[in-house]
Structure formats: structure tokens, C-alpha cells
Amino acid sequence: MLGWELPPYNSGGLGVACYQLCKALSKKNIDIEFVLPYNHDHPIDFMKVTAAHPQDVKAIKMSGIAYDSYKYIFADGHEEYLSLTEQQSLYERAVAQLVKYGKYDVIHAHDWLTFRAALRARQITRAPLIVHIHSVERDRAGGNDGNPYVREIESIGLLMADKIIAVSEHTKRCIMRDYDIPGDKIEVIHNSIDSEGLEPLDEHNAYQYLSAMKQQGHKVVVSIGRLTMQKNLPNLLRAAKEVIARAPKTLFLIVGSGEQYFELIEQAAELGISRNVIFTGFQRGKNWRDAYAIGDVFVMPSISEPFGLTPLEAISYGTPVVISKQSGVSEVIKNCLKVDFWDVNELANQITAIVMNDSLRDELHDNSYHEFVNLSWDNSAHKLANIYRRHYAEAAA
Amino acid sequence: MSRAIILYLHVHQPFRIRHYTIFDAGKNHDYFFTMPYEDRTSNERIIHKVAEKSYLPTNAKLLELLHRYPEFRLSISITGTVIEQLEMWSPMTLQSFKDLIDTGRVEIVGETYHHSLAFFYNQQEFETQVAMHRKKVQEVFGKTPAVFRNTELAYNNDLAYWADKAGYKGILAEGWDPILGWRSPNFVYRPSYTENIRLLMKNYRLSDDIAFRFSNRNWSEWPLTADKFTHWLNETHDGTNFNLFMDYETFGEHQWDDSGIFNFLHHLPEQWLKTPGNTFMTVSEAIDAYEPVDYVDMPYTVTWADTERDLSAWLGNRMQQQAIHALYDLHDKIIGSKDLQLIEDYRRLQTSDHFYYMCTKWFNDGDIHAYFSPYENPYEAFIAFMNAYHDMKFRLNEKGIEV
């Protein structure tokens, strides 16, 4: 399996999804070697994790998140920082070496960064190639075309693959529309969540100020995610203005960092709602969990969200969700409010209703929590194992 | 001794609330009308659809049967909210109901004008709505109801006591086993603590064979024919009156034409009347014809809905509770405003369907509740309702009435 990141060194949902999927697959007696582009000691016992090294490299360190530059430490001791593109070709070379020495029944590659390596591996091993689409360039570019270089790699990977896995019907439609791939080549396997795998909350919420305000009748609307175009936060702020005009005791907690950080702070000021909007920057661990828990409602208004794990995490920490209809997770959860990403008024209408009616908030949460506890990766792994078997058998025949 | 089928059909459509948002509240007070014709909540579109699929073909069939079989009779109830909508959007359908009533062999049963649960929240409002309905029925059909049914057949001892005092000769209720015990619903009963009134109880097994199971191919008795059905009745030796109570929309809307439901209706009188002594009666005729056999005591409220037969489909969750209490809390101020349009909007919002759409009990199974809802989910139903509620408060404030 070719992937770009695994937790705890992940930048977002991709690493978590790979990790959980492999864990569930291992329970189905699937023997996995997961090839990463960097060195790290992952505490993982259910599969083999390999760092793909070019021969003259001693170690590869991440210098930030998975999409920043990588520090290469060469055998002769000198160090170099490589860009994502350079890193990608080195990963390809290393994988090509690696597959010569092992025996692989199926090659399973996650997202475009691994596709060049995957195609080389397929050429060498002749094993069937399954590419797994967690997001396409248009999602990441917030509905625009995005980087043509990335699209080209995606396009070739999708064409050459023996099977494509999409994380939602929404993503499947994107692949069909943007890359002209016939639907019968694409199988939808929804992401899921390990409902027992999340760290529990402790007694004291980290957001003491918000707890105190809630005591005085304030309501908290939470958004957690990268502050990037895809996440559609400018529309959330526009909706926030309408909500605050009608329910002045509403506070918006925006957790995350990203290139829109400063522009969102400015936008809040321009809208005259800075007093009600709190930016926390990027948070991990307790601060991250408690942000979910302090909310009366969690909002994910993304322009396009192939799956979108955060609403499930919000539900697990006791908060009902408003999510964009252009998200994969909206195919999985019924007891939530759904809104078209462009519909600022409807978004405001829904948030206002929740902050004004505790009964709506509580019914939404109780019923969605019931759905949440029944989710598991097992179904996804089961479907995937069947696809492996089918393609392995076809390749052997 | 003669034995009768008591066929009673209930006609109702609510004024569904359109996609009414917080941006409408305080600006535009139209909750029920301005929506695109194709919208799921379009009352006009739904009236046209139901009229075409159910009301018109059913009325044509019933009229034909009334002409053909002098013994054929039935009873209907028809709410004020559906009469108004037929007046607006399908006068031809209203005329077809009048034609039935004009035969003199179709009885109209009384109820609340707005198909509300007011009996449980505000007795005075309830009585006003019953009076409104009586007046409307007199105006449109020239008849005065003598038998009463409450919304969703929601019934208890208190209601029977009220109906007795109000002068009704009969009242309808669900023939629910925990109440009847070993007794059969196929007789006339007397409600406990009353003097003159009689009680007719729905035979839910036989009624549901038609209303719910008719087109179910997994049902062991499928397909149900009039021949088979009347054979069951003839083989049932305890009882004088078989109370078949159901929604009017059973014919053509809940059970589609291609299920054979109209064929079943067509042959029902023919098959039943074959056996000497068998006949049809209206609810009043049954009460006049048969002596009550026992008292029935219903201390708690029983309805004709779901497996629980209680009010939980309307009032079972917190949203429903909050919505209905919020609404009735405005009662005195709204009535006191003397603003007739506001009062009428308030009453239209009392229609039980609004609360039914907020039911979350079986939302996950995508069952019957989901099918009958014009909203994507129960939460949207609640949001639209509460926005209309906020707007009514705004209107009161505008009149200088503090809320």
C-alpha cells in the first residue's frame, strides 16, 4: 500500500483514513506493507510500515506537515531540503527498487502524490493497481481547476488503474465529471470512524471563557479545519453576521490555520462581528477535542468535501452538525442539517434555529449519536477485501 | 339479526408550511402559500395530485355503488382545512363530495376544523374549532354532524364526557386490545361516566388489512379480494357491526390504483350483500340499530397511530413538545389581538400534521412517516414551524402586545 502519511504525523484526514482502513483490513487477514515517504517510528503492529528511501539516503525527516518540504539526510552526512515534487520523484524511484525484492498481490495507492510510484510499481510487478481517491484537485482548489500538473498525474493514475475506490458518491461523481472515467470502474467505499477509538473528554473544558459565557446563556458554533478555500469559511462568517443579528448571544469558534487565516480575521472585522468570532489557530489534543465539546453546533460548510471526518468527531464529542450537501459524510449521517455550500441564508437559517432551540440541538445530537455508534470501518474493509480478491484472481487467471 | 359494515373514511389535508426561514420572519407573514408549484410543500400541487389519484376516482366509484346498491352506505369526516383547499384549487372535487352527501346515504362526522390536538391543550379553543367545523359543514353540505371523532382518533374518558355533554349521539375510537381486553370491537359500546352517548371502535385488524396490508406482497393473505374479505366477516360470529375506519387516501394514494384497490371497493358491496341479513350502515344508523353491550373505560389517551397507539408520533420528542407548547402559550394574546388573519394562521399551525412531520421515531428506517412528510427531515419541519412561530410573536409585538 502506498500512502503519504500516517498518524500521528498526519496533516489531516488522509492519514487517519489510511490507518483505520489498514487496521480493519488486517483483521480480515490481509497482509499489508505500507510504504511512506519519510522515516518515523509509528507504533503500529498490525502491518509493516516501510520508509521508501533512495539508496544514497540515510533518513528523511518531515519538516512540517506532509505537504511541506522534506529534509533528506544523505549517507555522506550532508542534508538537503527537497520540494514536494522532488520528493515525489524520489519516492517513485525508491518504490521501484522496493517492489523488486518483495512479492505483492495488489498495489493500492492513496491519492495523487503516490500515483507516479504506483504506476512504476505496477509496471514492474504486473500486479493489479487500485487507486484510492480521498480527494481530487478540484476539491482542494475549492471548486476551481487547481494545479494542472496535479490534475495530469491524477488523470493518468485514474486511467491506468484497474479499479478506482472513491470515498463517497460525491467523489465518484467528481471523478466521472472531471476526468471522464466511466462509473463502472469506480467503487464507492465510504470512510468511517472507529467509534471507540477517540480519546475521551476530561472534566474541565479547555475553553473556560466559553464555558462561562454558556452559563450566561450564550451559544457556541464551532468550525474545525484548515482555513483554506475548500472549507468555505467566508460564507460561514457571512452567515454568522445574520445569526448574530437575530441571536446576539451566539459565539463562533474557528479552530485551524491556513492561508486564509488573516483574511478571515479581517473579514470578521469588516462584517462587524469580531466580538463574536474567536480564532484559536491550529490545535491538537485536548484543545482540539474540547473545541468540539464546547459547541452547541458544529458546522462544516465546505465547497466540496470528498468525505469529511470532522462532523463524525463532533458528534462523538456531543455536538450536532450542520454540513454541506457537497460532502461525502452527508451520505452517511441522516440526523443532521444539510445545506448547499453557496446558500448563506439557509446556513444562517439552520444555525439560528439550533442556537434558538435547545430541543432541536438535543434531538439532532441524540439521534446522530445513535447513528455514530453504529459506524465502523469493518464494512469498508470487507468491501475492499472483496475487491482485492477479485482483482488478484483476475490477474492470476 | 342483521350485520353491518360501518365504513368510515377520513378526508384531510393540512396547510403545509413552506420553506419559511428566519429571513422571512418579521417580513412576510405568508407561511402556507407562496412556494413554487413543484415544491414538495406546495399545498396546491398536493391537492391536485391527491384529487386526481384518490378523491375523484374514489368518489366516482362510491357514487356508482350508491346508485347500484340501495343498501350501500358509508360515513366520512372532512376537515375544514381540506374543504378550504378544495374550494381554492379543486372545486370539482368538492362538488364530487357534495354529490355523495346528496344521496342521503353518506353521513358526515364532526371534528375540529383544523385537525388539531387542541382538546389536550385548550378546551375553549377546541370547542371553537368544533363549532367552526359544524358551521362549515352546514354551509357546504347542508348537514349537521351527530357523531364525533377527534383528530387522529385521539380518545379518552374526558373526551367522551365532553362529547356526551355537547349532545353527540356517538363517538369514534380505536378498538385497541389493552382497552377492550377479551371483548370484540364488533359491537356498540358505552363510554364510562357518560349518559347517552355511544362508542364505535375501529376493528383495526380488518381496517388495516385494507389500509396498510392490501398491496403488501409479503403478506400471507395477499392478494386480498372482496370475496375473501367478506368471507372472513361472515365467518366472524361475534359481532353486529364491523367498523372499518381508515383514511380516505387509502383508495388511490396509500394503495395505488394498480394494487387493485378500486376493484376491491367495487366488489365489496356485491360480495357482502350476497348473504341475507348483511347490510351497510352509517355510524348513526349503527348506533340506532344496536344496543350497547358494555361500558368501555379509557383513562388514558389512545389514538389510531403506530404500534403504540398513543400521541408519541405527534408529541413524543422534545422538538414536538417545545413547538406545541410554544404555540398554545400564545393563545390568549392571539385571540385577544382580534386580528382574524393572525388567528387563522395560529389555527392552521395547530394542525397535527405539523407535529407529525417532526417525528424522529422512525426517520432512520425511512418508513411511513418519511413518506408522508414534505420535508427532507424532521428537523427542517421543526425549523419552518418555529420560524412561523417567531413571526407570529413579531406580529403581536407590532400590535403592541407584549410577548
In tens, the pLDDT along B225-246 reads: 999 999 999 999 889 999 999 9
CA distance A64 to B372: 53
Whether the pLDDT of residue A212 is over 80: the answer is yes
Residue window 72-91, chain A: list those with CB within 8 Å of chain B: none
The reply to whether residue B364 touches residue A335, judged by beta carbons under 8 angstroms, is: yes
Please, which residues have CB within 8 angstroms of residue B333's CB and are 6 or more apart in sequence? B396, B401, B403
CB B43 within 8 A of CB B73: no
Q: Which of B320, B324, B361, B379 to mutate to test the interface with A (most CBs of A within 10 A)?
A: B379
Burial class for B71, CB neighbours closer than 10 Å (0-12, 13-18, 19+) = middle
The reply to whether residue A346 touches residue B21, judged by beta carbons under 8 angstroms, is: yes
CB A61 within 8 A of CB A73: yes
Whether the pLDDT of residue A69 is over 70: the answer is no
ipTM of the complex: 0.86
Closest CA to B282 of B270, B293, B271, B290: B290
Q: What is the mean pLDDT of chain A?
A: 92
Give the cell for residue B98: 357534495
pLDDT at residue A143, as a whole number? 77
Half-sphere exposure of B46 (CA within 13 A, CB side): 21
One-letter identity of residue A85: T
User: Across the interface, which of B364, B378, B386 has its CB nearest the CB of A353?
Assistant: B386
Whether the pLDDT of residue A63 is over 90: the answer is no
pLDDT at residue A2, as a whole number? 96
pLDDT at residue B403, as a whole number? 86
A119-165 per-position pLDDT tens digit:
999 999 999 999 999 999 988 887 788 899 999 999 999 999 999 99
The reply to whether residue A338 touches residue B387, judged by beta carbons under 8 angstroms, is: no
Half-sphere exposure of B145 (CA within 13 A, CB side): 31
Q: What is the mean pLDDT of chain B?
A: 95
Residue window 341-360, chain B: list those with CB within 8 Å of chain A: 360
> What stretch of H or E contains A318?
none
A324-383 per-position pLDDT tens digit:
999 999 999 999 999 999 999 999 999 999 999 999 999 999 999 999 999 999 999 999
Catalytic residue, chosen from B111, B125, B152, B249, is: B152
Q: Which residues pair with A222 in a beta bridge?
A: A253, A298
CB B70 within 8 A of CB B34: no
Question: Would you call B152 a catalytic residue per the annotation?
Answer: yes
Give the cell for residue A47: 502491518
Q: Show the low-confidence residues of chain B (pLDDT under 50).
A: none
One-letter identity of residue A28: K
Whether the pLDDT of residue A65 is over 60: the answer is no
pLDDT at residue B365, as a whole number? 55
Q: Could you give the C-alpha distances from A43 to A6, A40, A48, A297, in angstroms and in order?
A: 10, 9, 11, 34
User: Across the interface, which of B23, B318, B382 has its CB nearest the CB of A349?
Assistant: B23
pLDDT at residue A200, as a whole number? 93
Model confidence at A68, in pLDDT bands (50, 70, 90)?
low
SS3 A279: strand
The reply to whether residue A335 touches residue B383, judged by beta carbons under 8 angstroms, is: no
Whether the pLDDT of residue A12 is over 80: the answer is no
Model confidence at A389, in pLDDT bands (50, 70, 90)?
very high
The reply to whether residue B380 touches residue A337, judged by beta carbons under 8 angstroms, is: yes
Q: Could you give the C-alpha distances from B119 to A324, B127, B153, in angstroms and in order?
A: 41, 8, 12
pTM of the full predicted structure? 0.90
Q: What angle, rounded to 10 degrees, do the helices at B123-141 and B80-89 form? A: 40
Model confidence at A8, in pLDDT bands (50, 70, 90)?
confident
Q: Which of A242, A321, A367, A372 to mutate to test the interface with B (most CBs of B within 10 A)?
A: A367
